[in-house]
A and B are shown apart, each in its own frame.
Chain A
Amino acid sequence: MDIFGSYALLLAFAFALYAIVGGIAAIITRRPLLIKSARNAGFAVCALIWIGTASLWYLFFTDNFSMAYVAAHSNRSLSPYYKFSALWSGQEGSLLFWSFLLSIYVFSVLFTYRGKHPELMPYVGVVMAGVQIFFLTMNNFVASPFGVFAGQGSGGILHLVTRSDGSGLNPLLQYPEMAIHPPTLYSGYTGFTIPFAFALAALLGRYPGEKWIHLTRRWTMIAWCFQSAGILLGAHWAYAVLGWGGYWGWDPVENASLMPWLTGTAFLHSVMMQEKRGMMRVWNVWLVFITFMLCMLGTSLTRSGAVNSVHAFAESNIGHWFWSFLLLILLVCLAAYFKNRDYLRSDNQLDSMLSRESSFLFNNLILLVACVAVLAGTLFPVLSEAVRGSKISVGPPFFNRVNIPIAMFLLFLTGVGPLLAWRKTSTESLKKNFGLPLVGGVIVAVIALALGLRDFYVTLCVLLSGFVTLTILSEFYRGARVISARTGANIFASAGQLTMRNTRRYGGYVVHFGMVLIFIGICGQAFNQDKQMDMTTGSVLTLGQYRLHLQNYDSTQAPNYTAERATIDVEKNGRSVMMLYPTRRFYPSNQESGTMVAIASTLREDLYVVYAGTNPDTNLPVIHAYLNPLVKWIWLGGVVVVLGTILALLPNRQAAMVLSPAATQAPIPVPGSTQPAHVSFSARSQLPAGAGSTWSPPEK
């Protein structure tokens, strides 16, 4: 099966080469047969990558320890669940998994647009195959997951060596989210290949108009959604497994995932200016290019070992391959831009400073500055070492201090943007729209101050969260009220109807609300408390309103590890409310330890208890307890963001016209029927003049 997988990947490489050469020939000759042939080669590449990936999974499930990769990342006692996820637990497998996810996107694009857009798709196919070639080069020649253990026999002949058992999976990776977080995040990274391919293809082929934007809008949103969910899942994983009481440590790998998310978010906003006004063509193309390059840069940073990261399992010497690919992409993008930049010329005009367009410009500015700040902080240790010869650390204090003001400005713009109209907003409408949300935000902030909040940024965040939430609610309310007045439906049903008529706009508002929840959750960090104590049986640790009684500590045996476990009775206001079992595991196969944190989570706060090991001086178990307020709001916000994006991905429901009450009083008689006809119009063009139409909100 190892040979089978290797051959599949080699064949995929050969077909990918053909897809590029054939695609370029098809572009030059415009022969339909060549176009079809290059496309079919693209399909074959995808199918072969799937076969290669399936082979590796098979090797994991059959405990084939003659394979170096399987032996390094699995063992016999590993549960099937983790054998499945072990595929992407190391360098070689994760690169193959990257190819696998990319091939799903490529297949979907080739299949969805087969026979459509003949001027654009050959270019798209070539760009996608180009990206696939790079990863297949890695999979075949640089970091193959199908390497075997070989030994020299008596006659000098090499033969396969099979180990009796493998080293097992890194304990930090033996957590249920291992099966969800990497695939989700990688789906985000690889997904940005599609808008990149379309943007570069449109530029190379001088494809007219904004069509490529319409074609890639949903793909970009899908990639963005995966990236958002992947980042939050990673944060949750860090929170539940690493046991330091936090969820975001500004580690280079975390930063690497955040940077394309920031530019991707900027793109999702600025692209509306191109769709609506034909503006920002150059900017949008470069935003897509930069987003894709940041996906590659992040991977280069973490896999090259250039920066220190807790994700040390990903470090290797393959970084220069990524740097070279990154340089190549940059050169291709620059060449395409300078050759065809006249194609991107747009008639940018702005009617007023107070307009949706301006707010998007500032939104892009802030997101890009945030990205630059994160990039600067991540790369600065490397720069400092190159210039001064000594490495410095750039840790959370730097990132928090720089990014918190930026985040506040962004939150402010999240509230302001929807209140501004395209082209121009009058001062009167500004006052009218701003008044209540702003007053509401101030009231919330005053209450927070009255409750004792004294941190400036937390108070500001509370104020802005109130402001943004009320802005969103008022947007829904105003639209729903008009529909309610026309149809007689209640306000909630009308809000539902309104949302389904313009899913992109109102889905976007739901995403904004999700971000507000995340911001509120992050604010809770300002009130974190923690206490660490060496505990004997019966001793008590008091933290906030909680009293933690250590009842006993024991050890258990599982097939893959041994565990030391503390049993803690938690009292709140003098009443026993729950039992918690923080655990420390020891994995003999790789001689590593890991923590399983016990978390009691409510909307108000998380009681987070870590069994931190045994104090060698006292030989007593060390319990570290944290009280982290509002953390659940972050995960809840993440769910809302994903749901909002899914909503925005849905097609708009066509508005059915309902006659006004005056009109319905005179039903139209239908010959031969005792019932009056129910009249509805599905197309706006059919609206009779003056008959009253459903209210349709302007596109966001």
Chain B
Amino acid sequence: MTSRRRIALISTVFVAIASALVPLHIDAQRSDRAKSLGTKLMCMCGCGQILTQCNHINCPSSGPMLKELDAHVAKGEADDLIIQDFVQEYGEKVLSAPPTSGFNAIAWYIPGIAFVIGLGIVVALIRMWRQRDVARVATAVGPSAPAHDVLSEVHNVQLDRARQQADRDTED
């Protein structure tokens, strides 16, 4: 059996196992509107849990809040309006995620800004290190060397490093 066939066989077995284990009832019941809205609100008992997930026995907040939410939904009020009602009653702390406008939107920007800055640093480092590699070879060869000498020197430097690497790999 060729290696590709073997890998294909392994893939098939994996796919078969995975498909057997993935639950088939994925057309499961959908959360109702109240449940979905409940995930956007926090329980105000101080447990730090989402309203629909707070299960503290005899919790003084979650029960009344859920009832209030159900009442709003039963009246057919719009989602934004319901959330706004809760914010007016309990303050912004009732929201399970920071608002996307105003000062609190900064929370949403921080990871993106960190990623962009980090990416910039990584790209700059890679460019700098690559240039350093080329500069090192150029210094080794000299400014007036013909192109094929430079290439051959690049090859030599790389071979040299490969040897050093092999030495390092085989040491204890």
Minimum CB–CB distance for A219 against chain B, Å: 19
Contact across chains for B130 and A350 when beta carbons are under 8 A apart:
yes
Interface size class of B (residues with CB under 8 A): 35 or more
Q: Mark B29-63, 1 if CB is under 8 A from A, else 0.
A: 10000000001101000111110011101100000
Stretch at the interface among B16-24, B74-82, B138-146: B16-24
For A470, list chain B residues within 8 Å (CB): 7, 10-11, 14
Instruction: Assess the B133–A349 pair: CB atoms within 8 A.
Output: yes
Of A349, A451, A699, which one neighbours B22 at CB under 8 angstroms?
Answer: A451
Instruction: Verify B25–A384 contact, CB threshold 8 A.
Output: no
Q: How far does the alpha carbon of A657 sit from the alpha carbon of B15 in the complex, in Å?
A: 37
Q: Mark A600-615, 1 if CB is under 8 A from B, else 0.
A: 0001110000101100
Indicate if the CB atoms of B107 and A477 lie closer than 8 Å. Answer: no
Contact indicator B23/A629 (Cβ below 8 Å):
yes
Question: Does A684 sit within 8 A of B, measured CB to CB?
Answer: yes
Interface of B is mostly: helix
Q: A350-B130, A392-B93 are in contact. Are A474 and B26 (CB under 8 A)?
A: no
- Whether the Cβ atoms of B93 and A612 lie closer than 8 Å is no
Mark out the residues of chain A between 610 and 638 whose CB falls within 8 Å of any chain B CB in the assembled complex: 610, 612-613, 624, 627, 629-630
Is A243 an interface residue, CB under 8 A from the partner? Answer: yes
| B148 proximity list for chain A (CB < 8 A) | none
A80 sits at the interface (CB 8 A): no
Given A377-B107, A402-B111, A527-B23, also A350-B126 (CB < 8 A) = yes
State in angstroms the CA–CA spacing of A235 and B98 once bound together: 25
Instruction: Choose from A349, A372, A477, A629 the contact partner of B136 (Cβ within 8 Å).
Output: A349
Q: Which of B106-142 contact A (CB under 8 A)?
A: 106-108, 110-111, 114-115, 118-119, 121-122, 125-126, 128-130, 132-133, 136
Chain B residue at minimal CB-CB distance from A308? B48
Residues of B within 8 A of A119 (CB): none
Judge whether B97 and A401 touch: CB under 8 Å: yes
Query: How far in angstroms is the closest Cβ of chain A from B171?
Result: 10
User: Are A444 and B130 in touch, CB under 8 angstroms?
Assistant: no
* B165: contacting residue among A244, A309, A422, CB under 8 A: A422
Task: Say whether B107 contacts A376, CB under 8 Å.
Answer: yes
Q: How far is A470 from B96 in the complex, measured between Cα atoms in Å?
A: 38
Q: Tell me whether B49 and A373 are in contact (CB under 8 A).
A: no
Residues of B within 8 A of A544 (CB): 25, 28
Asked if A361 and B58 make an inter-chain contact with CB atoms under 8 angstroms apart, the answer reads no
Residue of B nearest to A396 (CB): B50
Interface check A393, CB cutoff 8 A? yes
> Could you tell me the distance between the alpha carbons of A473 and B13 in the complex, rounded to whole angstroms?
12
Nearest Cβ on chain A to B53's Cβ, whole angstroms:
5
Distance of A7 from chain B, by nearest CB (Å): 40
Chain A stretch 361-376: residues in CB contact (< 8 A) with chain B: 361-362, 365, 368-369, 372-373, 376
Chain A minimum-CB-distance residue to B3 = A481
Chain B nearest Cβ from A65, distance in angstroms = 28
CA distance A458 to B34 in the complex (A): 24
Is there an interface contact between B97 and A398, defined as CB atoms closer than 8 Å? Answer: yes
A391 within 8 A of partner (CB): yes
Whether a CB of chain A sits under 8 angstroms from the CB of B95 is yes
Q: Is A348 an interface residue (CB 8 A)?
A: yes
Q: Which residues of B contact A610 (CB under 8 A)?
A: 55
Stretch at the interface among A68-76, A88-96, A245-253, A548-556: A245-253
Q: Determine the residue in chain A with the shortest Cβ distance to B91.
A: A390
Cα distance A451–B57 when bound, in Å? 38
Contacting pair B168 A308 (CB below 8 A): no
Given A395-B97, A440-B14, A699-B169, are A244 and B55 neighbors across the interface (CB < 8 Å)?
A: yes
**Is B39 a contact of A397 with CB atoms below 8 Å?**
yes
CB distance from A182 to the nearest CB of B (A): 20
A393 touches B94 (CB 8 A): yes
- B42 CB to closest chain A CB, in angstroms? 5
Q: Could you say which residues of chain B place their CB within 8 Å of the CB of A443?
A: 11, 15
- Which residues of chain A have C-beta atoms less than 8 A from B28's C-beta? 527, 529, 544, 627
Q: How far is the CB of A609 from chain B (nearest CB, A)?
A: 12
Interface of B toward A, CB cutoff 8 Å = 3-4, 6-8, 10-11, 14-15, 18-19, 21-29, 39-40, 42, 46-50, 53-55, 57-58, 91-99, 103-104, 106-108, 110-111, 114-115, 118-119, 121-122, 125-126, 128-130, 132-133, 136, 158, 161-162, 165, 168-170
A-B contact pairs, 9 of them (CB 8 A): A279-B129, A384-B98, A394-B107, A436-B11, A466-B15, A474-B7, A605-B23, A610-B55, A613-B57
Q: Which 9 A-B pairs have the closest CB atoms?
A: A373-B111, A395-B96, A350-B129, A440-B11, A376-B110, A398-B97, A372-B114, A397-B97, A349-B133
